[in-house]
């Protein structure tokens, strides 16, 4: 379970790094200016991806625990 907690911490750190990156950039890779509304949409997409990973991990943990 130490590996499991380590992976969760890794994903949390990656989410936080991504959120900070989104909030501090002024122009994205396509050259579009990042307004506060666009930054919030980008954060929502990033959070949706993080939530998907969390749900997959929760389901996997459920199956691991039910096997034992």
Dihedral sign for Cα 5, 11, 14, 15, please: negative
Question: Do the beta carbons of residue 40 and residue 56 sit within 8 Å?
Answer: no
Would you place residue 15 in the very low, low, confident or very high pLDDT band (cuts 50, 70, 90)?
Answer: very high
Residue 27 forms beta bridges with which residues? 33
Taking residue 29's Cβ as centre, other Cβ atoms within 10 Å add up to: 6
Q: What is the pLDDT of residues 34-68, one digit of tens each?
A: 999 999 999 999 999 999 999 998 898 888 888 77
Please tell me whether the overall predicted TM-score, pTM, comes out greater than 0.85 for this model: no
């Amino acid at each position: 379970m130490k590996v499991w907690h380590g992976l969760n911490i890794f994903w949390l750190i990656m989410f936080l790094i991504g959120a900070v990156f989104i909030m501090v950039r002024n122009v994205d890779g396509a050259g579009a200016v990042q307004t506060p509304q666009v930054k919030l949409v980008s954060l929502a997409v990033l959070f949706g991806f993080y939530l998907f990973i969390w749900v997959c991990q929760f389901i996997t943990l459920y199956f691991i625990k039910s096997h034992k």
